[in-house]
C-alpha cells in the first residue's frame, strides 16, 4: 500500500510533522517493503491554500492514505474527494507510526480535526519524541465561513477562534472554530476594533485565494500537469445561487439553470466546494 506521512525530516527516523499542508516533508512510503520517497513540501511557504495544494499533491502521487497530526477542512475534503484516507492525531517517530498503521492500530478520521490555517506561522516541530505536539496545538486559526449577507463585500468571511483542545492520544478532535461577529451583524458592536477584525479576516481570505492562484500559475508556467482533481456539481442539489461562481478564481463556472463547470479551466482548488451553501459541489479525480 502506498501511503504518505507528514514528517519533520526526510527519513523514517524523523518525527511526524503535525501540520498537513505546511509540513516540512511528505514521505511517500510503500508499506510492503518500507521504501521511502521524501518530498520537500513545495507548499510550505504559500500564504494560503497550502492544505488544498498539498492534498492535490497527494492525489497526484496516488497515495491511498495520509498519516498526519492535523488536517483542516479544505484539505480533508479534498483528500476525501480523491479517495484518500486521512488518519490524524499521529505523533512520534514516522517508522513507529507506520508500523502501527500496518498493524491496523490506527483508524481513519471521519472529519477534519482542526480549523483552517492550522500551522501558519509555526516552525517545524521539535525533533525529540513527545515534544512539540502539545505546544502549538492550541494555536488554531479561524477558518470561519461566510457570515450571512457577506456577499456585499465579496465573499463573506468569518474569523475562527483558537483551537484549545489537546491532541495527545486523540485520533481526532472536533473542529471548534466559531465564527466571529462582523459589523452590522445583530448584537455585534459597531466599533473600530470589530471592523478591523472583520477586515483582517477578509484580507486573510483574499490572500489565501491569491496564494492558491499564484501557486497554480507558477505550476502551469513550469509545464505542470493538469490538476488531478476537478470540481463537479450535483444538479439536483444546486439552487443556482452563484456563490461558487464568485468563488472560482479562474472563471471556470457558469450558471445555466444550475452551475456548470468547465473541466478544462478548473484547477481543482476546491474554493467552490467550500463556498457552496448546498453542498452541491465536490471534487473528484479527473478522468
Ligand atoms: S454555490 Fe452550490 S448551489 Fe450555488 S450555484 Fe454553485 S453549485 Fe449551485
Ligand atoms: S471550479 Fe473553480 S473554484 Fe471550483 S475547484 Fe475548479 S478552479 Fe476551483
For residue 234 and ligand 1, the question of a CB distance below 6 A is answered with no
Distance 147 CA to ligand 2 centre (A): 21
pLDDT > 90? residue 19: yes
For residue 269 and ligand 2, the question of a CB distance below 6 A is answered with yes
CA gap 29, 26 in Å, rounded: 9
Q: Which residues contact 174 (CB under 8 A, 6 or more apart)?
A: 111, 113, 165
Q: How many CA atoms lie within 13 A of 36 on its CB side?
A: 18
| Res. 249 pLDDT band, cuts 50 70 90 | confident
| Res. 212 pLDDT band, cuts 50 70 90 | low
pLDDT > 70? residue 101: yes
Distance 209 CA to ligand 2 centre (A): 11
Report which of 191, 125, 137 is spatially closest to residue 164, judged by C-alpha positions.
Answer: 137
| Res. 173 pLDDT band, cuts 50 70 90 | very low
CA gap 271, 45 in Å, rounded: 20
Mutate to test the pocket of ligand 2, among 269, 276, 284 (most ligand atoms within 8 A of CB): 269
pLDDT > 80? residue 206: no
For residue 159 and ligand 1, the question of a CB distance below 6 A is answered with no
What is the rounded average pLDDT for all residues in the chain?
74
Residue pLDDT, tens place only, 55-68: 988 998 999 999 99
| Res. 223 pLDDT band, cuts 50 70 90 | low
Q: What average pLDDT does the segment 218-222 reach?
A: 63
Sign of CA dihedral 42, 48, 51, 57: negative
**pLDDT for 209:** 65
**pLDDT for 3:** 97
Distance 205 CA to ligand 2 centre (A): 16
Taking the chain, what is the end-to-end CA distance rounded to the nearest angstrom?
22
**pLDDT for 221:** 64
Q: Of all helices (H) and strands (E), which one includes residue 219?
A: helix 192-221
Q: What average pLDDT does the segment 127-142 reach?
A: 32
For residue 231 and ligand 1, the question of a CB distance below 6 A is answered with no
Return the higher-pLDDT residue of 277 and 210.
277
Q: Which residues contact 61 (CB under 8 A, 6 or more apart)?
A: 2, 4, 26, 28, 39
Q: Do 267 and 218 contact (CB within 8 A), yes or no?
A: no
pLDDT > 50? residue 236: yes
Q: Which residue(s) pair with 282 in the sheet? A: 232
Mutate to test the pocket of ligand 1, among 253, 276, 283 (most ligand atoms within 8 A of CB): 276
**pLDDT for 151:** 34
Radius of gyration of the chain (CA): 19
pLDDT > 80? residue 48: no
Sign of CA dihedral 251, 256, 262, 263: positive
**pLDDT for 147:** 34
Residue pLDDT, tens place only, 151-165: 333 343 333 333 333
Chain centroid, CA 132 distance in Å: 21
Distance 130 CA to ligand 1 centre (A): 44
Give the ligand with the smallest distance to the CA of 276. 1
Task: Return the residue whose CA atom lies nearest to atom 8 of ligand 2.
Answer: 269
pLDDT > 70? residue 177: no
Distance 283 CA to ligand 2 centre (A): 9
**pLDDT for 262:** 93
pLDDT > 80? residue 256: yes
Q: Which three cell numbers stand for residue 144?
A: 470561519
For residue 247 and ligand 1, the question of a CB distance below 6 A is answered with no
Q: Do 216 and 267 contact (CB within 8 A), yes or no?
A: yes
**pLDDT for 196:** 81
CA of 229, closest atom in ligand 2: 5
**pLDDT for 165:** 32
CA of 261, closest atom in ligand 2: 1
Amino acid at each position: 500500500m502506498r501511503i504518505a506521512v507528514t514528517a519533520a525530516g526526510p527519513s523514517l527516523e524523523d518525527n511526524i510533522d503535525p501540520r498537513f499542508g505546511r509540513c516540512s516533508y511528505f514521505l511517500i512510503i510503500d508499506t510492503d517493503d518500507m521504501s521511502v520517497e521524501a518530498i520537500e513540501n513545495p507548499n510550505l511557504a504559500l500564504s494560503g491554500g497550502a492544505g488544498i495544494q498539498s492534498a492535490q499533491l497527494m492525489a497526484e502521487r496516488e497515495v491511498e492514505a495520509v498519516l498526519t497530526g492535523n488536517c483542516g477542512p479544505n484539505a480533508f475534503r479534498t483528500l476525501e474527494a480523491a479517495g484518500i484516507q486521512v488518519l490524524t492525531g499521529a505523533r512520534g517517530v514516522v517508522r513507529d507510526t507506520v508500523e502501527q498503521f500496518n498493524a491496523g492500530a490506527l483508524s481513519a478520521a471521519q472529519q477534519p480535526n482542526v480549523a483552517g490555517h492550522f500551522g501558519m506561522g509555526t516552525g517545524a516541530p521539535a525533533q525529540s519524541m513527545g515534544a512539540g505536539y502539545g505546544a502549538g496545538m492550541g494555536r488554531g486559526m479561524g477558518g470561519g465561513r461566510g457570515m450571512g449577507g457577506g456577499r456585499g463585500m465579496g465573499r463573506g468571511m468569518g474569523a475562527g477562534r483558537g483551537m484549545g483542545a489537546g491532541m495527545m492520544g486523540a485520533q481526532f478532535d472536533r473542529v471548534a472554530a466559531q465564527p466571529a461577529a462582523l459589523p452590522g451583524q445583530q448584537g455585534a458592536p459597531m466599533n473600530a476594533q470589530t471592523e478591523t477584525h472583520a477586515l483582517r479576516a477578509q484580507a486573510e481570505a483574499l490572500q489565501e485565494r491569491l496564494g492558491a492562484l499564484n501557486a497554480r500559475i507558477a505550476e502551469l508556467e513550469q509545464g505542470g500537469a493538469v490538476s488531478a482533481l476537478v470540481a463537479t456539481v450535483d444538479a439536483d442539489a444546486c439552487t443556482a445561487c452563484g456563490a461558487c461562481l464568485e468563488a472560482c478564481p479562474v472563471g471556470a463556472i457558469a450558471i445555466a439553470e444550475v452551475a456548470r463547470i468547465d473541466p478544462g479551466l478548473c484547477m481543482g482548488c476546491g474554493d467552490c466546494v467550500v463556498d457552496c451553501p448546498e453542498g452541491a459541489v465536490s471534487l473528484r479525480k479527473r478522468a
